[in-house]
Chain A
Amino acid sequence: CATPLAIHTPAAERPLAAGFTLEGRLSASDGASAASGRLEWQHQADGDRWTVLSPLGQIVAQLERDRHGALLRTADGRRYAAANADELLPQVLGVDAPVALLPAWVQAAPGPHGEVRARDARGRPALVVDTGWRIEYPEYAADDPAAPPRRIDLSRGDARLRLIIDHWTPAP
């Protein structure tokens, strides 16, 4: 397969949005179970709402997080509360990706302990490695250096998550 370009490509100038709304599709599996569907994610500094929907637009699960904790509601009406979203997000995304790092990863940026291992011809990250996760960016939404990624492949051990971003709206 195409090997990502070496690191020496100059880094593109890529502002990081503190808040955003992401609409896309995800497929995830951790070797045992699998999850797939449409994803809507509203992110602000002090809160998140992840919603997974079926092709028919019916909500399968919705997880909301704020400073006080996290609440997961599922289609059958059940509710699960937890101190933080990390305990519940795997039930929504299908893998236990870290809540604190996902906002950077979906913008093709490493967390504080991560690093960009390779860049594409436009200087945008092609591969990020962070806290044991491998995050690949095979496709961006447009050709310009600051474009958001269109497809993200996340993996660690058996856990795999593929995300297609159909709409990306940074918060004002």
Chain B
Amino acid sequence: ADGIAQLRRFVADIRHAEGEFEQTVHSASGRKPQQAAGQFAFSRPGRFRWSYETPYRQLLVGDGERLWSWDPDLAQVTVRPLGDALGSTPAAVLVGSSDFEAAFELADGGASDGLAWVVARPRQADSGFESMRLGLADGRLHRMELRDSFGQNTVIVFTRLAAVAAPDPQLFRFTPPPGADVIGQ
């Protein structure tokens, strides 16, 4: 399977995109899977928007320098440098530019479910997840699976991913709402 070639094409060709995702977390403890869904957008390099709508709203914005995360219920914003946050998190796949392979070691993951798979291991030790599998078809990323050292398995399906010529820059800016706690880590 040519997963790695397709992934390189995806990283090189799809500079800006937006769409929807569905996330299912299969927990190591065998509890019923947890579903979440929302919208995303990205603009290489370094800018992305990951907005959970269900089961509750939570927004993650990479503005090119920093990663903002906002939970309206908690009325709290956390902000940290994008570098160490992005370095080896799944978002790097979406918005990492050519140095994507600097953050991940790639291996062919064969073909299944009509997708060509790539196994990506973060080179940075404390990346918070152990390995990631990326499923591609015709040069587009369709699925992402993450496994952590506890055996949690997160499956993200990109139910829609559309390349866009020039995304709205406002999507990748974040201003903390009035009254929200802003905590820098």
Identify the A interface with B (CB < 8 A): 25-27, 29, 33-34, 36, 53-60, 62, 73, 75-77, 151, 162, 164, 166
Question: Is B58 an interface residue when CB atoms closer than 8 A count as contact?
Answer: yes
CA distance A164 to B52 in the complex (A): 17
- A33, A75, A166: the one within 8 Å of B128 (CB): A75
Question: Is B25 an interface residue when CB atoms closer than 8 A count as contact?
Answer: yes
Q: Are A36 and B71 in contact (CB under 8 A)?
A: yes
Interface centre among B52, B75, B149, B150 (most CB of A within 10 A): B150
A23, closest chain B residue (CB): B34
- B58, B76, B129: the one within 8 Å of A162 (CB): B76
**Minimum distance in angstroms from B126 CB to a CB of chain A:** 4
Question: Is B90 an interface residue when CB atoms closer than 8 A count as contact?
Answer: yes
**Interface residues of B, count at CB 8 A:** 36
Chain A interface mostly: strand
Question: Is B146 an interface residue when CB atoms closer than 8 A count as contact?
Answer: yes
Q: Are B73 and A25 in contact (CB under 8 A)?
A: yes
Chain A residues near B152: list those with CB within 8 A: 53, 57-59
Residues facing A in B3-25 (CB within 8 A) are 23, 25
Q: Are B183 and A27 in contact (CB under 8 A)?
A: yes
